[in-house]
Structure 1
Amino acid sequence: MSDNFTITDEQRDYSEFGLTENPFPYSPVPDDEPAVYCGQEQVTERISNTVSSVLGTGKSKHLVVTGKYGNGKSHTLKYTRSLVRDRDDVLVGYVAQPGDGFLDIYHEFVYDIGFDRMQALSYEFLASVAREQTDANPTSASSMERLIDDGEVLLSDIVPETIQRLSDVTKFADFARAIVHLVYEDTNLYAWQWLTAEGLRYEQRKEMEIHSAIDDDTSAVRAFTALKNMLLELDYTGIFTFIDEFERIAQLTPKDEQATLNSIRHLMDQNSRGLCILFGCAPEVWQDVMSEYHAFSERIGQEVALRPLTEEKVYNLVEDYLDTARTNGEAGIEPFTEQGLNVVLQRSQGNIRQVLSICSRVLDTATNSETITNTIGRDTVVETIESM
């Protein structure tokens, strides 16, 4: 019985091609912070206009990015998110897919924001009250936390006013109590569970004087709106929400699909300011939504389509990835040849995911080849594709 396994941690040497590594992903799923984005002008322009409009005016605006599987919807959403997330005046959350309804969307959104960020927002609101109610002048979440830890500001002095004010702002008293309890060591995890709609026992809610639960689409829309209103009170511009793989709603029952779309529509209706939702959706599903759910699609009214890459775009994409690993100062598509990339284009039909996958395999094939060459031409690409 022979053992055909050969497992090693030895890394391939790509130096013959002037590269430190294979820059193409083995599994072409976009990183959370994509280093490379080869945009399509009509898409980047429309996204830029939508995002800039919200940032500039504060008025809510939404957009659907359509494209077939592998044409870059997730990459586009994640890259846009990485650009917006660097700003201090917005809160940004990413939802990988809509799940079974708006409650799942809300859960994933808050979970993506994270406990630390939500706790910081709690300290920020406490700071805004402390500046008016005490002699302290906390200017940030961290300075507020230090003042509390050092005993210079007592929570008992500012929490009642904070809960009252936040209740007035959000119109959701239980939400206000949960936000404030994020700063208490003995209840902050309970508060986080409540805010993420994971559910709490009655005794745990009672400890925070919370009487309700976020357990359906209606309460999730209410909590989402409460969070946004709290942000506006803190002088944030608003919330950016990225909902990927929106075509998954087509897998729901007609009743659940309509309920999900209605909940998002209600969210939009209740938030004419400070909200931007960007959807990634397969074109055929979006067409169905527009034809069957006018009340929802009319709230968005904006769509932009990702198309398969042209020859020029394939060259640009490959060059951008190669540039992240070059050591020899070369530019352009080298070590690939135009003939080689044309075969990649033909096989992939301009699908970004397939372009990256083929290029990754081709580069490894060329590295393992016993034939010494500084270029990767048509024959190598054909050989690799035939073995895939």
Structure 2
Amino acid sequence: MAEYPARNPFPARGTSIAEETSLPDFLRAWAQGIPTVLLPGVRAAERRVSDYLREFGNDEISRGGIGWLYGAHGVGKTHAARHMMAFVNDARPQAVQLYLKFQEDDFVLAYRRLIPQLSQSLLTDLSLRYLGTLAGDRAGQAGGRSRQDAILSAVADDPTRVYDLFGAHQVELGEVLEEQAKEISAVAGNGQHFERALSYLLRPEFSTAAYDWLCGRPIDPDDSRALGVSGRIDDPVTCRYGLQVLATLVTRSGRPFVLVLDQCEKFLLEDGAPVGANVKLLQALVEMIPGAQGMLLLLSSEAGWEHLPPDLRDRIGTGDHHLRPLSPDEAELVLRVYINTARKHPADGIEPFTESGLLELLRRSGGNIRHLLQLSWASFDAAAPSSDIDAELVATATARHSRSPGLAGLATIVENALVAAGLPAERVDKTGRPPEFLIPDRRSPRALIRLSEAVFYDHEVANALEIVDLVEHARRAGRPMYTAILVTGYVSPPVLAGLREAVRVLVADGSAAFSRELEELVREIAAGERLPVEPGAFHETLRTLNAKLEELGSKSRSEAAMLRRDLADVAERLEREEARPPSDWPIRRAELTDRIAQARNARAEADWAEFRRARADVMRERRRRFTTQAAAGVTAVLLGAISVVAALSAVPWAAVVGAAGAVGAGGAAVLLGRSRGAVVVHRAGAPLENRRDLDVLARGLRAYADPHAADPVGRYAYALKEDPDENYRPLTQAMLTEPLALVRQAIGRRLAVSERTPVDCVTDVQRALRERIPEALLLLARRQRHAESDRPPRSLRDLPPELRIIVALANPQALTLADGALSGHPAESVLAAIGVRGSNHPLAQAFRRGRFDEIDFPRNELRAAARVLSPFEPDGLGTYDWLPLISAIDELYLLFEEMLYHTENPPE
């Protein structure tokens, strides 16, 4: 038997932390201390950078490098990138590498974190070597290749020798600087500023100021004038130019340049939609960094990749790689590599984990490597010394860590989703089989939702194909049926890809993506949609799928979760199923849903109209001032002209000409001033048709952002620009004094990304609520980090019951955070339904089962609880449409309305 590990070999956090540093020692220490499994994503990144390094320096074949890794959070993108950087550090120690993880869509802040990773001494050395390269190029043009090679060799050994070349006039400094200006201008629109900064970087008395300016830091106005540069770098385009100049500087100095940008979705997307300006900015980097012989690696979520425009994807070419969940063999390899770090003698097995333990880890982690390592740590930590870690131990040890629901939990989730959508469904439970749900139509079921244990191997999938066959039989009989399979936690990636070609498959891994997919599935069923599969194509899909499964090969695993199905009786029941008469509640629910949508739209339109009115008033006043000033200027010009005409007879001709010139100049100045004023008004007063227009305009006017601006766009821009941690207090004060709801919402959303936890913001929330500023609730509607569920922060528990509803919804895994003292407030019923008062409370059980027609609860208490959640009543939680929890609040409101409906309309 293999040696038992001497310590827990797994990381508790299960994640690779990529520090924003380019220090080689850090990369070397990381590579030595962190195990790396050569999974497909790791190999893809390493292969891409290997090609780049092999071609670098060969002008005939070098094309630079570009790569894009995308996948779900926790699948190993950051680890793959860090491994790639460590590989570069070993292969080419002189390479310059930068890493940045986007925190938001502000490229200026990103630039100011990125460039300072290079020290002043390194940047100075690069600038000097760049001059040496240019000097060598000039010498080569005059004296041939041998002369060029000699100079480049000398400068490579000692870059300061370039000064000797200039002093001896072997190469003319003016010609070199002229060539430098051309190259920098080719990659930067305002190249003269960067050229001056690089030149002054070499002068000791100005080097620090030049370095600070290049890093985007503020510098003294006197230094700015001395350098001949503009003020602080504060716009995204100039920041892009800075990166492009840096890439040119590094590669022309003879060093490889590698830039890694992580979490690009935070930069590219806002509320799930692409930000056009940021897409264009990234597209320019994709073109310019490889064009400067650099390597650019981009990491993003699947959404970040899917929202890329086609032309940007085309520029990535074959450089993209989709990181998928682990296969069973890959998961076994991951465990073995980590376990061997804690053994004196490496072995081939994964002891103390058994095969069943491995498969349970896969099911509970969904094949996500970060979660797999976290759960492995918890399982090893819970195991007795020298004991095996099997499926039962994994299930027990990871119960509070796992995101993936079991079959019972998944059935509850599906039931609640169907009930919330007002869909009458029959749940079918048979001994030894997972539940299934039939959604009836007039004569036969129109939808079938089948639950399944985790799917690992093809012989289990073959049973799932019986469901697909059932759909085909129904189609042949003229009864097409919407069919979906919901799997707990895990499906082997190749099997999942094949199944999805034939039937709708959702993997219940506890992620937000699964919740969205389930909502979409229920919405499609409610709309009466069918799976749009052409008969011939469907049959061919089945044939292809079977062929794929045969290629995968049958793997026998006695302890694997089995998907054994006997569908003969189900098919027979489907043939004779008669639809139940519809309940009146779905009709009532549909009416309420329509009313909610109408009320929400009305509030959004009112907020938008309020904003536009305020802005129109500002624009009207601004135009009035411009008109008054222009009229005064024109009057002055006319009076001057009259005076000139009156004095023509008495004034010499030369003086007349001079006076006329002065009048003309005055008129031109007035007209020019008017024109410039018109440009300013045009830009600031650009038409606003929707929120997207406002966001675009506000980003363009960030330089004029001001919490006290008369123009509400300036205040809105302030909300987008201000740092929520460094300027937390100014932002909260701005929210308290802001008269427009739309701007307050923007400020609240900005504050919600602060590192301050909700418990740290309770005082500010309470103060804002006293001032009738409900937007401060955005600070509360967030997950409380580092919270002990058995010792919740006192300030959260002391909140009023209606606010503790928000705390509970934001922290579903730590409901004790909202467990304050009992009171007679109607919100107590809502807290009980969520589960704050325990899972055995009648309301919690009703909420969990989705059955409210049997509950006996006082009608007045139900009505009062519904008012607390109402999207119609003043100050009802449902009227706060901008809360990220609004869909959960709506669901609770509709559930209490349903209980009230059944109480007022008991069955006969």
Tell me if both proteins adopt one fold, taking TM over 0.5 as the criterion: yes
Equivalent position of 2:9 in the other structure? 23
1:215 aligns with 2:215: no
Q: 1:363 to 1:119 in 2, by over 3 A?
A: farther
Q: CA deviation at 1:337?
A: 2.5
5+ residue gaps in structure 1?
1-15
Q: Which has the larger radius of gyration?
A: 2
Equivalent position of 1:308 in the other structure? 325
Query: Retained in 1: the 8 A contact 2:128–2:159?
Result: yes
Query: Retained in 1: the 8 A contact 2:218–2:231?
Result: no
Please tell me the residue identity of whatever aligns with 2:123. Answer: M
Aligned-partner Cα distance in 2 for 1:345–1:316? 13
- Superimposed CA distance per residue, residues 249-285 of structure 1 (whole angstroms, 9 cap, x where no aligned partner): 3553899821111112223344534133221111123
Aligned-partner Cα distance in 1 for 2:43–2:201? 39
Q: CA deviation at 1:92?
A: 1.9
TM-score (norm 2): 0.36
Of 78, 93, 98, 1:93 maps to: 98
Aligned-partner Cα distance in 1 for 2:125–2:376? 43
CA RMSD for the aligned pairs? 3.7
Please tell me the residue identity of whatever aligns with 1:318. Answer: L
Q: CA deviation at 1:195?
A: 1.3
Three-state SS of the structure 2 residue aligned to 1:333 is coil
1:298 aligns with 2:314: yes
Equivalent position of 1:345 in the other structure? 362
Q: CA deviation at 1:215?
A: 2.3
Equivalent position of 2:52 in the other structure? 54
Aligned-partner Cα distance in 2 for 1:173–1:195? 13
Q: CA deviation at 1:197?
A: 1.8
Of 191, 197, 213, 1:194 maps to: 213
Q: CA deviation at 1:96?
A: 0.8
Query: Retained in 2: the 8 A contact 1:197–1:215?
Result: yes
1:226 aligns with 2:277: no
Higher relative CO (Cα under 8 Å, sequence separation at least 6) belongs to: 1
Q: CA deviation at 1:316?
A: 0.7
Three-state SS of the structure 2 residue aligned to 1:278 is strand
- Within 5 A, what are the aligned runs for 1:257-296? 257-270=275-288, 272-289=291-308, 293-296=309-312
Aligned-partner Cα distance in 1 for 2:134–2:288? 26
Of 328, 337, 359, 1:320 maps to: 337
Identity of matched residues, %: 21
Q: 1:137 to 1:208 in 2, by over 3 A?
A: farther
Query: Retained in 2: the 8 A contact 1:101–1:256?
Result: no
Aligned-partner Cα distance in 2 for 1:350–1:323? 21
Of 169, 179, 198, 1:179 maps to: 198
Query: Retained in 1: the 8 A contact 2:15–2:74?
Result: no
Query: Retained in 1: the 8 A contact 2:124–2:202?
Result: yes
Three-state SS of the structure 1 residue aligned to 2:386 is coil
- Within 5 A, what are the aligned runs for 1:72-151? 72-86=76-90, 87-88=92-93, 90-97=95-102, 99-125=104-130, 139-140=155-156, 143-144=158-159
Q: CA deviation at 1:37?
A: 2.3
Q: 1:258 to 1:335 in 2, by over 3 A?
A: same
Three-state SS of the structure 1 residue aligned to 2:75 is coil
Query: Retained in 2: the 8 A contact 1:311–1:342?
Result: yes
Structure 1 residues 333-342 or 206-215, which shifts more? 206-215
1:40 aligns with 2:39: yes
Q: 1:385 to 1:257 in 2, by over 3 A?
A: same
Structure 1 residues 120-129 or 378-387, which shifts more? 120-129
Query: Retained in 2: the 8 A contact 1:163–1:173?
Result: no
Query: Retained in 1: the 8 A contact 2:332–2:358?
Result: yes
Query: Retained in 2: the 8 A contact 1:130–1:138?
Result: no
Aligned-partner Cα distance in 1 for 2:346–2:80? 28
Of 262, 280, 286, 1:244 maps to: 262
Equivalent position of 1:170 in the other structure? 184
Q: 1:242 to 1:377 in 2, by over 3 A?
A: same
5+ residue gaps in structure 2?
19-29, 56-60, 140-150, 186-190, 402-908
Aligned-partner Cα distance in 2 for 1:316–1:216? 47
- Within 5 A, what are the aligned runs for 1:330-341? 330-341=347-358
Q: 1:343 to 1:136 in 2, by over 3 A?
A: closer
Aligned-partner Cα distance in 1 for 2:338–2:10? 7
Query: Retained in 2: the 8 A contact 1:102–1:264?
Result: no
Query: Retained in 2: the 8 A contact 1:344–1:355?
Result: yes
Query: Retained in 2: the 8 A contact 1:61–1:300?
Result: no
- Superimposed CA distance per residue, residues 339-385 of structure 1 (whole angstroms, 9 cap, x where no aligned partner): 2222211111111010111111222223xx4xx42543334322211
Please tell me the residue identity of whatever aligns with 1:36. Answer: P
Q: 1:140 to 1:212 in 2, by over 3 A?
A: farther
Aligned-partner Cα distance in 2 for 1:159–1:207? 24
Three-state SS of the structure 1 residue aligned to 2:399 is helix
Aligned-partner Cα distance in 2 for 1:112–1:264? 20
Aligned-partner Cα distance in 1 for 2:354–2:314? 47
Q: 1:69 to 1:330 in 2, by over 3 A?
A: same
Equivalent position of 2:397 in the other structure? 384
Please tell me the residue identity of whatever aligns with 1:60. Answer: G
Equivalent position of 2:72 in the other structure? 68
Q: 1:254 to 1:233 in 2, by over 3 A?
A: same
Three-state SS of the structure 2 residue aligned to 1:39 is coil
Structure 1 residues 319-328 or 174-183, which shifts more? 174-183
Q: 1:17 to 1:196 in 2, by over 3 A?
A: same
Please tell me the residue identity of whatever aligns with 1:109. Answer: L
Q: 1:75 to 1:190 in 2, by over 3 A?
A: same
Aligned-partner Cα distance in 2 for 1:357–1:118? 40
Equivalent position of 2:416 in the other structure? none
Query: Retained in 2: the 8 A contact 1:110–1:196?
Result: yes
Q: 1:67 to 1:120 in 2, by over 3 A?
A: same
Query: Retained in 1: the 8 A contact 2:46–2:87?
Result: no
Q: 1:255 to 1:201 in 2, by over 3 A?
A: farther
Query: Retained in 2: the 8 A contact 1:89–1:235?
Result: no
Q: CA deviation at 1:206?
A: 2.3
Please tell me the residue identity of whatever aligns with 1:68. Answer: A
Q: CA deviation at 1:203?
A: 1.9
Structure 1 residues 277-286 or 353-362, which shifts more? 277-286
Q: CA deviation at 1:159?
A: 12
Query: Retained in 2: the 8 A contact 1:109–1:241?
Result: no
Three-state SS of the structure 2 residue aligned to 1:309 is coil
Q: 1:189 to 1:336 in 2, by over 3 A?
A: farther
Q: CA deviation at 1:72?
A: 1.1
